[in-house]
Amino acid sequence: MSSPLTPEAMQAILLTLKLASLTTLLLLLIATPLAWWLSQTHSRWRAPISALVTLPLVLPPTVLGFYILVVLGPQGWIGQFTQTLGLGVLSFSFTGLLIGSIIFSLPFAVQPIQYAFEAIGKRPMEVAATLRASPLDAFFSVALPLAKPGLLTATVLSFAHTVGEFGVVLMIGGNIPGQTSVVSTQIYGHVEAMEYTQAHWLAAGMVVFSFGVLLALSRLKRRSDRVMP
């Protein structure tokens, strides 16, 4: 019996996993210091930067994808810069998808980590300071371990959100097999071609994956609730 998934579908699944993994890794590196700053600062820039980070939650994905496409395109400032370097334009490429995915999933990484840092309070860091720990040392040895539930939640949400995104990736990358075709756009392509069997297999996989993500988040929440005093 032949596999219900075509080679193109398997290729889209692997590309989706690659995109989600790289996006999650880079988001954790970007979101952790940003979340720490937002949780600690009293700067007047806190509110506008927080709003900017949260913007992808309220903007339609096609709107966000359109403006990213413009910026990455031949007339955009990033597109012109990459062309000057001889790299061409990043739109309709995997790198473009990665940039768009990072921007689109940024609030799903920043907010859980920020809330975790805020829940720690000032006391642990003050105690670390009395023990002559530098701010950097206290951050890595005190703040990060205590914020582990938030980091785990951010990891799961960022990965899952990247796997499920559609509007942004379609605007930035189109649906080029082997280059920018991910699971969500592959399902769209199958439906357009009235290939409902292939669409069913991919869509059912997404349903199972989404259920697993929600179950994992629920267990993470229960575990963190038991740890909290």
Which of the four CATH numbers 1.10.760.10, 2.120.10.30, 1.10.3720.10, 4.10.490.10 does domain 7-227 have? 1.10.3720.10
Angle CA 39–45–51, to nearest 5: 75
Are 157 and 127 within 8 A, CB to CB?
A: no
pLDDT given for residue 3 in this prediction? 54
What residue type is 144 in one-letter code?
Answer: L
Residues of the chain with pLDDT under 70: 1-4, 221, 223-229
pLDDT given for residue 218 in this prediction? 78
pLDDT given for residue 227 in this prediction? 53
Token match 């990072």: residue? 102
Token match 């913007």: residue? 55
pLDDT given for residue 39 in this prediction? 93
Task: Give which of 119, 134, 209 is closest to 164, Cα–Cα.
Answer: 209
- Token reading at 87: 């790299």
pLDDT given for residue 1 in this prediction? 38
pLDDT given for residue 108 in this prediction? 95
pLDDT given for residue 25 in this prediction? 96
pLDDT given for residue 2 in this prediction? 45
The end-to-end CA distance of the chain, in Å, is: 55
